[in-house]
Amino acid sequence: MAKINGSDAMFQVIYDWGIDHVYGFPGGSFDSSMNAIHNWKDKIKFIEVRHEEAAALAASAEYKYTGKVAVCFGSAGPGAVHLMNGLYDAKYDKVPMVAIVANVPTNRQEIDFFQAFDEKPWFDPVAVWNREAKTKEQLPILMDEAIRQAYAKKGPAVIIVPKDFGWDKIEDNFRVNANAHRENTPAPKKESIEEAVKLIKEAHNPVVYYGLGAKHAGKELEEFSDKFKMPIMSSVLAKGVVPDEFPAYMGSIGRVAPKPSDDIQTHADLVVWVGNNSPFSIFFFNPNAKVIQIDTDSEKLGKRHKVDVPILADAKKTLRALIEAGDGREESPLYKAALADRENWDAWQDSFKDSDQMPVRPEPIFDVINKYAADDAIFAVDVGNVNIDFQRLMNLHDKQKWSTSGLYATMGYGSPASLAAATVYPDREVWQLVGDGGFAMMNQELLTQARYNMHVLNVVFTNETLGYIQAEQEDESHQPLSGVLLPDNDWAKAAEGMNVKGVTVRTKKEFEDAVKEFKKMDGPMLIDVKFTHDMPYSSELNTLDDPEFVQKYQAQALKPFSYFAEKYGVDLDAETGASQHEDKDEKEEATVDTSSGASQH
């Protein structure tokens, strides 16, 4: 029987699973696998990043865009440690991926050798599956199992490869059964549907709250909302499942969200909770509200709120069953008030689209992005205030995709995510949207974009502060600003030094001209937007009865929810949907963790 190097056999498995590229950075302990990468270069592309953290974050981002496992690698010692940030992003966001971690040769382990440490315990807390090969013959077997476990347990799998095993010859007799891989999409039970329909019929002010578990059920969510006249809200990560233009979509909930979703959630007496496990939802909704929760993972049922009807089933199938079984509803007072509240919010945001305020506001910039981004554009969104602006101002539609670092929320995510997007969608437009704080962390990946001539537009919002943290220090812990201010930097010049075209803009017109130029060119470009220092509207405080608050956010045209509630007859004092605004200050004082500075949203 033919012989093959252990690492070559491992890459045969990767290829047989339909994976045609890997992200990583070479090191001496990985030489045997680098040799395999060379041997497989005609079938598996090597994306050489400038830092292993970027490799792991790119692999995590790739699944978020495609639903397919991606592979990254790092060498022993520092290369292994550098992967951690991306692995934790995958762990927190339930993302299948595989990391190959090199180890020193077996005869150099446990003797304090160069770059050697006991790697397996290091990865145990982050990995859903973590194994080190004990024999050379195990390499293809373990790689196959790593991919299976990543898919099954929805997280990062780690395979540790001693250098000598990668060189050693083994029999070329291992073959995978990738075509046997299936996703589980259980159907709901009839009695559960009947119980849920009864609650929907009895509710006065029902709403829908969905997450990424409903990502394949966008049409059903729209139809469900329309039939039962329910406003719908999403987790942050589920933005785009339903088009932003859908009138009953209130946006996400929490600090990054638009005002209408935070306005209405307290007044719901029934929540149809679909595929959503946001930890912040413990702060949302009236605790007396009834809940119908739909999820394919029994561990999620009842985790964030008491549940009246748990449904262990696929979101798409369950929503379809409810649509067919239930009778249509008339518009509730809360539904009418929610739509009017959103119209007021949209009009207020639109009023700033052509603002000449300097430095430039976010609305003019996002107006250009909404007009010029291709219908199948891919967005790599970093962490910070850029998330707030994206959630509120970006109108996703058609085949547009986006991703960010969700629960782990690591700054610096945007650059590696743009590499993943450009790798898997080379013929589509990629936009990185990032603040100057996040971009300062991972900007070296411009070199990777240039090397592979990736068509990425890097939009850097330079406001000279860690804005998200600044707002926490000002609005939550009420402390002096500490450690948040950044020096201004010429990011356009830095980009030019890394072989990427750089442009600095200060107005909407200059930004629009730069975007037009990007759309005519090949390869990457960077636009440094000299951006407002003002903070986004605080939907946490949301005190429109305070003149200072109104003045700070230029919110004179916004109306408090009480206006819409009175107009449409929402009973703010009803037992099942009582407003908790009266003791809002006491509630916030009790829930804000000022010792850690952590935001409750």
Q: Which one-letter amino acid corresponds to residue 102?
A: A
3-state percent helix, strand, coil for the chain, nearest multiple of 5: 45, 15, 40
φ, ψ of residue 489 in degrees (nearest 5): -140, 150
Spatial distance between the Cα atoms of 259 and 252, rounded to a whole number of angstroms: 10
The confidence score (pLDDT) of residue 579 equals 37
The Cα 40–Cα 8 span in angstroms is 8
Q: Provide the token pair at 389.
A: 């602006």
For residue 58 the two structure tokens come to: 């790119």
This prediction has a pTM of 0.93
Interatomic CA distance for residues 31 and 7, integer angstroms: 10
Question: H/E element holding 472?
Answer: helix 467-475
Residues 6 or more apart in contact with residue 125 via CB below 8 angstroms: none
- Residue 354 DSSP class: T
Token pair 């022993």 in the structure block, residue:
76
Cα separation, 172 vs 161, in Å, equals 18
DSSP string covering 96-163 = -EEEEEEE--GGGTTTT-TT---HHHHHTTT-SEEEE-SSTTHHHHHHHHHHHHHHHHTSEEEEEEEH
Query: C-alpha angle with apex 345: 344 to 346, nearest 5 degrees?
Result: 95
Residue 118: HSE in the Cβ half-sphere, 13 Å Cα cutoff? 4
Other Cβ atoms closer than 10 A to 464: 17
What amino acid occupies position 472? E
Those residues with Cβ within 8 angstroms of residue 372's Cβ, 6 or more apart along the chain or in another chain? 512, 515, 516, 519
What's the rounded Cα separation, in Å, for the pair 502 and 459? Answer: 10
Please report how many Cα atoms fall inside a 13 Å half-sphere around the Cα of residue 153, on the Cβ side. Answer: 20
Angle between helices 218-228 and 315-325 (to 10 degrees): 30
Q: 3-state DSSP call for residue 527?
A: strand
DSSP 8-state code for residue 236: G
Q: How many CB atoms lie within 10 A of CB 38?
A: 9
pLDDT at 116: 72
Specify the pLDDT at position 181: 82
Quickly count: other Cβ atoms within 10 Å of residue 343's Cβ: 13
Look at strands 290-295 and 456-462 and give their pairing.
Answer: unpaired
- 305-333 in b/e burial notation, b at 16+ Cβ within 10 A? bebbbbbbbbbbbbbbbbeeebeeeeebb
Beta-sheet pairing, 169-171 with 3-5:
antiparallel
Q: Hey, what domains does the chain have and what are their CATH numbers? A: 3-180 (3.40.50.970), 190-342 (3.40.50.1220), 353-530 (3.40.50.970)
Q: Chunk the chain into consecutive blocks of 10 residues (it has 601) and report each block's average pLDDT, rounded to whole numbers.
A: 91 97 94 95 98 98 98 95 97 97 78 76 97 96 97 97 90 88 88 97 96 96 98 96 97 93 94 92 89 94 92 97 96 97 98 97 98 98 97 96 96 98 98 97 98 98 94 92 93 98 98 98 98 95 95 97 95 50 39 37 38
Q: Taking the alpha carbons of 512, 513, 514, 520 in that order, is the dihedral positive or negative? A: positive
Q: Degrees (nearest 5) of the Cα angle 220, 223, 224?
A: 80
The CA distance from 415 to 418, in Å, is 5
Q: Which two tokens stand for residue 561?
A: 């929810």
- pLDDT value of residue 109: 65
CA distance 68 to 21: 12
Q: What is the distance between the alpha carbons of residues 292 and 309, in angstroms, rounded to a whole number? A: 5
Structure tokens at 537: 């509207």
Cα gap 31→166, rounded to integer Å: 8
Q: Which of 467, 468, 473, 465 is nearest to 592 (CA)?
A: 473
Of 340, 350, 379, give the one whose Cα is nearest residue 248.
340
Helix, strand, or coil (residue 564):
helix
Is 188 within 8 Å of 313 (Cβ atoms)? yes
Residue with tokens 């785009």: 240
